Amino acid sequence: MRRSFADYALPLLVFLAMIGLWEALVRINDIPPYVLPSPSLIGVTLVKDWGTLSGSLLVTLQITFQALLAATVGGVALAILFARSRWIERSFFPFAVVLQVTPIVAIAPLLLVYLDANTAVLVCAFLVAFFPILSNMALGLASADHNLIDLFELYKASRWKQLILLRLPAALPYFLGGLRIAGGLALIGAIVAEIAAGSAGQGAGLAYRIVEAGYRLNIPRMFAALVLISASGILIYLVFTLLSYVLLSRWHDSARERGL
Amino acid sequence: MADMLSLRGVDKVFATGAQALGGLDLDVREGEFLSLLGPSGCGKSTALRMIAGLSQPTRGSMEWRAGRPEIGFVFQDAVLMPWANVFDNVWLPLRLTGQSRAQSAVRIEAALELVGLDGFAKAYPRELSGGMKMRVSIARAMVLRPALLLMDEPFAALDEITRLKLNNDLLRLKQELGATVVFVTHSVFESVYLSSRIAVFSARPGRVVAEIEVDAPLPRDDDFRLTPLYGHACKEASDALHKAMGEA
């Protein structure tokens, strides 16, 4: 399927039109910046405060990716363990579910009691990113073609070889789907935990900048930080979508362009 | 021909309580082309899986005369690894016995040539037609030069023309490799065309209710379908099948 120019141009035009409308509404109605800043003012603030904001962006991204890395290693390892033994899966999966269904906002204050602020934020981001990777990976490992499993058994393949040559490749599309969800969630987890920690006067991530700017009624800076958070989320999503495409386009239907 | 394998009084009851086989007696003779013919759900696939060692009898005995030979297995679907190209798919049995890609290259090329797929080593399964995928599957089963080839309705999902072509190729392959073949099918015509012997299965529980010898030398070609012997054997197999299904 070839994308025509209009496929890209139309959404872009609509987006720009909405920004223009915002700008116009603020100017025509003379809305003060501490109520609603115009897009141009947010842009100016972004440039002017870049020194402060970029440092915070780096901190937030660092936490997000550290958490994602830990969630990936932990989730994949635990999923492999689950695939090896039903007994382990039955015993430990409930814990994973409990962690998943308990809102992270509710856990964050508790973690801040036990851990220092940076570690607590990291753990929060890890907790929300962990489950999608674990559950998708477990599903992927279990979804290997049963006939192929029979074939490996026929040739007396060890469980290790079955894992490496069959179950892991079969799980790859599921894992990448989980990673895409977990990437966004890790960012959300980091922000939520930062807000919890920031309100206690600690941390230096983007969420802390929002809270801090809020106290000072610096609304344009709040918006500027928000723009950076959104952009980070979009970027994370795009990176993992691209990764999926690169790894799967040769063989998996999800990354296949449909011929018409 | 000497017996390669004997199954005597074999029962198979699954954990669900369903009985797939009951009192199955079956011999596989060295060098023959044996078809297991029967209606769907009569346990012929279960019998094949048992021969492959993928399923164990609940009761009864299964004896190899000279030990378990090298076995190749072809499933109803091609069952290829979609993430691996044709070369790597055919490499799998060799890889699992510890052969490197380089060590295996000659045998893989030979296997691909045998099934008429030379030049497709780099292709991925999804780029191939159903018939070509099945050829890859057969090449994979053949690459270790098994003495016994087990096939579970391998051509059932293919169109008629591809199926007839693959029937002929299979007979040629069997001749070149000198392998014994056990072939599961629900097609009377296919079983008669391919087999030196047909075991007709009855369902619930699965067992062999008739054996038919097809006394024409292998390999055969399309002219065989025009001979009286082919017609007779089809009639005989068809009658046995109807009887097995309780219709006669």
Task: Say yes or no: A100 and A18 in one domain.
Answer: no
Task: Say yes or no: A142 and A39 in one domain.
Answer: yes
Task: Say yes or no: B12 and B62 in one domain.
Answer: yes
- In a domain? residue B10: yes
- Cα–Cα distance between B55 and B76 in angstroms, integer? 17
Taking each helix axis from N to C end, the angle separating A86-101 and A50-84, rounded to the nearest 10 degrees, works out to 150
pLDDT tens digit sequence for B182-216:
999 999 999 999 999 999 988 778 888 888 888 88
Task: Say yes or no: A63 and A87 in one domain.
Answer: yes
Partner residue opposite A145 with nearest CB, options B49, B79, B124: B79
Residue from B20, B27, B28 nearest B55 by CA: B20
Task: Say yes or no: A154 and A26 in one domain.
Answer: no
Q: Does A86 touch chain B (CB under 8 A)?
A: no
Q: Does B52 touch chain A (CB under 8 A)?
A: yes
Task: Say yes or no: A205 and A95 in one domain.
Answer: yes
Partner residue opposite B96 with nearest CB, options A155, A170, A252: A155
Q: How many domains does chain A have?
A: 2
Task: Say yes or no: B121 and B175 in one domain.
Answer: no
Q: How many domains does chain B have?
A: 2
- CATH number of B63's domain: 3.40.50.300
Q: A121 burial class (0-12, 13-18, 19+ CB within 10 angstroms)? A: buried
Sheet with B19-29, side-by-side order of all strands = B19-29, B3-13, B59-64
Task: Say yes or no: A174 and A140 in one domain.
Answer: yes
Task: Say yes or no: B154 and B226 in one domain.
Answer: yes
Question: DSSP characters for A149-165?
Answer: HHHHHHTT--HHHHIII
CB pairs under 8 A between A and B: 52
Residue of A143, A146, A150 to mutate for B, most B C-beta atoms under 10 A: A150
Partner residue opposite B77 with nearest CB, options A147, A150, A170: A147
- Cα–Cα distance between A31 and A226 in angstroms, integer? 20
Residue A8: which domain range? Answer: 1-31
Task: Say yes or no: B14 and B45 in one domain.
Answer: yes
- Cα–Cα distance between A205 and A196 in angstroms, integer? 12
Domain boundary among B146, B164, B196: B146
Partner residue opposite B82 with nearest CB, options A151, A161, A252: A252
3-state secondary structure of A5: helix
Asked if the Cβ–Cβ distance from B79 to A151 is below 8 Å, we say yes
Task: Say yes or no: B114 and B189 in one domain.
Answer: no
Residue B115: which domain range? Answer: 81-146
- In a domain? residue A260: no
pLDDT tens digit sequence for B130-175:
889 999 999 999 999 999 999 999 998 888 888 888 999 999 989 8
Give the pLDDT of chain A (260 residues) as one tens digit per residue.
456 777 888 889 999 999 999 999 999 999 999 899 999 999 999 999 998 899 899 989 999 999 999 999 999 999 999 988 889 888 988 888 888 888 888 888 888 889 888 888 899 999 999 999 999 999 999 999 999 999 999 999 999 999 999 999 999 999 999 999 999 999 999 998 888 887 544 558 898 889 889 889 999 999 999 999 999 999 999 999 999 999 998 888 776 665 54
Q: Does B49 touch chain A (CB under 8 A)?
A: yes
Q: Could you tell me which residues come within 8 angstroms of residue A205 by beta carbon, excluding any fewer than 6 positions away? A: A56, A59, A60, A63, A121, A190, A191, A194, A198
Task: Say yes or no: A239 and A111 in one domain.
Answer: yes
Write the ipTM. Answer: 0.89
Asked if the Cβ–Cβ distance from B83 to A150 is below 8 Å, we say no
- In a domain? residue A160: yes
Task: Say yes or no: A103 and A115 in one domain.
Answer: yes
- CATH number of A125's domain: 1.10.3720.10
Task: Say yes or no: A8 and A114 in one domain.
Answer: no
Asked if the Cβ–Cβ distance from A251 to B83 is below 8 Å, we say yes
Task: Say yes or no: B141 and B182 in one domain.
Answer: no
Task: Say yes or no: A89 and A202 in one domain.
Answer: yes
- In a domain? residue B74: no
Task: Say yes or no: A17 and A88 in one domain.
Answer: no
Please tell me the distance in Å from B229's CA to the nearest CA on chain A.
Answer: 37
Task: Say yes or no: A8 and A122 in one domain.
Answer: no
- Cα–Cα distance between A223 and A209 in angstroms, integer? 10
